[in-house]
Amino acid sequence: MKQPVVYILANKKNGTLYTGVTSNLIQRVWQHKQGIASGFASRFDCTKLVWFEVHDTMGAAISREKQLKGGPRAAKVALIMVGNPQWEDLYDGLI
């Protein structure tokens, strides 16, 4: 099922963060975990899903992704700390 989602991956607690958008969160995170998705996340081993936010439309998700990417790191960390203070990998709870 297609569902627009903004997500944040990390390589470890308080580590490097990657913010992305997708219409299939399970598949996209799996690609990151397998190293299929090349680029920033792969280079820095960002494979832990630490935060995500579901949206009604892809346009809304893309706008939110741009907002997060353009904002300070502290804002992203605050989102993670509210919903996932232990920085656990949320991927297993999705499948």
Task: Say if residue 56 is exposed, middle or buried (CB neighbours under 10 Å; 0-12, 13-18, 19+).
Answer: exposed
**Strand 17-22 relative to strand 48-54: parallel, antiparallel, unpaired?**
unpaired
pLDDT of residue 57: 96
pLDDT averaged over every residue in the chain: 95
Q: Could you give the C-alpha distances from 59 to 29, 35, 37, in angstroms and in order?
A: 20, 27, 22
Beta bridge partners of 19: 8
- Confidence band of 2 (pLDDT split at 50, 70, 90): confident
Q: What's CA 87's distance to the chain center, in Å?
A: 12
CATH topology of domain 5-93: GIY-YIG endonuclease (3.40.1440)
Read off φ and ψ for residue 74, nearest 5 degrees: -55, -35
Residue-wise pLDDT for 52-78, tens only, equals 999 999 999 999 999 999 999 999 999
Domain ranges of the chain: 5-93
